[in-house]
Structures are given as C-alpha cells and as structure tokens.
Chain A
Amino acid sequence: ELKVEQNPLFLSMQEGKNYTIYCNYSTTSDRLYWYRQDPGKSLESLFVLLSNGAVKQEGRLMASLDTKARLSTLHITAAVHDLSATYFCAVDRETSGSRLTFGEGTQLTVNP
C-alpha cells in the first residue's frame, strides 16, 4: 500500500521567516504533486514534479523532488500572511488514470 507522510502537520511561523515542509512516500513513483487548500475551498495545483532532481519555484514557494530518497520538500521563503493554508503533497503510480494518494496535509499559519 502506498503511503505518503508529511511533516510537520501544523506549522505556525512569523512573517519573513523561512521554513520547509517535508513529504516522504513509500513507492518508486517519479511523479509528485503539491496542492494548496484554503479553508472550505478546493485544491489548487501548485507544482507538478515529474523527475528526479526536479525543482520548481513560484513566488515564495519552491518544491523539489528526490526520487532516490522518496522525498519532496516545499520550501517557504520570507513567509507572508497570504501563504496561510493547508498544503498537501500527493503521489500517483505512473500509470494512466491512477489515483492520487495524498499526505495528511500541513496546516500553515503565518502570523504578522
């Protein structure tokens, strides 16, 4: 059974600080996805990482993938309040139409 684990599950940080969210998974998949969810809302795609060593950046967020370690990181640089949300990583099994298996989510709160 594919397992996806995130840590931390809860993260409270001050504006301007840096932090990293970790996502470990148990399969050999080369495909990993990061989503953002605001309270009561849907899932917004942030990053799609499709190969070992992939690194993508959008604004203050940067995601990377190490398939050998089965680890992805989501790094937050100089956090701002607008980044407060729950962040999920998800993995699929590299076959067409395969399910996404999600981590538990990291609830991020950025305090002024």
Chain B
Amino acid sequence: EPEVTQTPSHQVTQMGQEVILRCVPISNHLYFYWYRQILGQKVEFLVSFYNNEISEKSEIFDDQFSVERPDGSNFTLKIRSTKLEDSAMYFCATNFLGWNEQYFGPGTRLTVT
C-alpha cells in the first residue's frame, strides 16, 4: 500500500540553525500539507500546497518557514532560524483530490537545543 514517507525521523539542531524536513508524498496525490504537534498537545496546521504554490497558511507559518517541491517528488519544509519553541513532531500529509482524507507520514521529531 502506498504511503507517505518522511526524513529524517529525528533531527537535533541548535537554536538559530536552519533545518529542512523532507516528505515524499504518495505518487498520484496533488495536495500537500505540513502539520506540527508539540509534545502532548493537539495537531496544528501549518501550510497547504497545491500546484506548486501555497494554498493556505496558518498564523504559525511566519517568515521563518518556507515550503517547496524542488524536484517534483520531495516536498520540503524549511525553518530558517530555529527557536526552542519549534521543537515538535512535524507531520507531512497528502491527499489526491483535496477534499478527502489526508494521509499522514510517520513524522520528523525536531529537537532544538
């Protein structure tokens, strides 16, 4: 069964450093999303992406964040200058039509020290 994959599974970085989180969506899916989950809290939407541009972003997704699909397969989330409060699990999700269920990847645990 096709699945969403994410790399790395765990990333430790120092405050102020840049990180790039990678996602490989299910191959025929057209809509891509990033969510984050701070430990013990609910899942929060960051950004959605369709047709090579951002469709929607939340108030969390400020100028420190960016997304792109550089090679037609990977979908990346970049955090330019990480802060302690960016420590969380980051999930990529995808769906085909944009209105049906979203399929979540296994997540990347980001730890900022």
Contact = CB atoms under 8 A, between A and B. Distances in A.
From DSSP, what is the main secondary structure of chain A's interface residues?
loop
A99 B45 contact: yes
A97 B42 contact: no
B101 A45 contact: yes
A69 interface: no
Q: Contact size class for B?
A: 20 to 34
Nearest to B31: A97
A106 B104 CA distance: 19
B101 A33 contact: yes
B21 to A, nearest CB: 14
A97 B106 contact: no
Contacts of A99: 33, 45, 48, 56, 58
Contact of B42 (A33, A92, A96, A104): A104
Contacts, number: 63
B67 to A, nearest CB: 13
A97 B50 contact: yes
A94 B99 contact: yes
Given A88-B42, A97-B98, A45 B56 contact: no
B18 interface: no
Interface in A25-50: 31, 33, 35, 41-45, 48
Contacts of A95: 98-99
Nearest to B56: A99
Interface of B: 31, 33, 35, 41-45, 48, 50, 55-56, 58, 91, 93, 97-107
Interface of A: 31, 33, 35, 41-45, 48, 88, 90, 92, 94-105
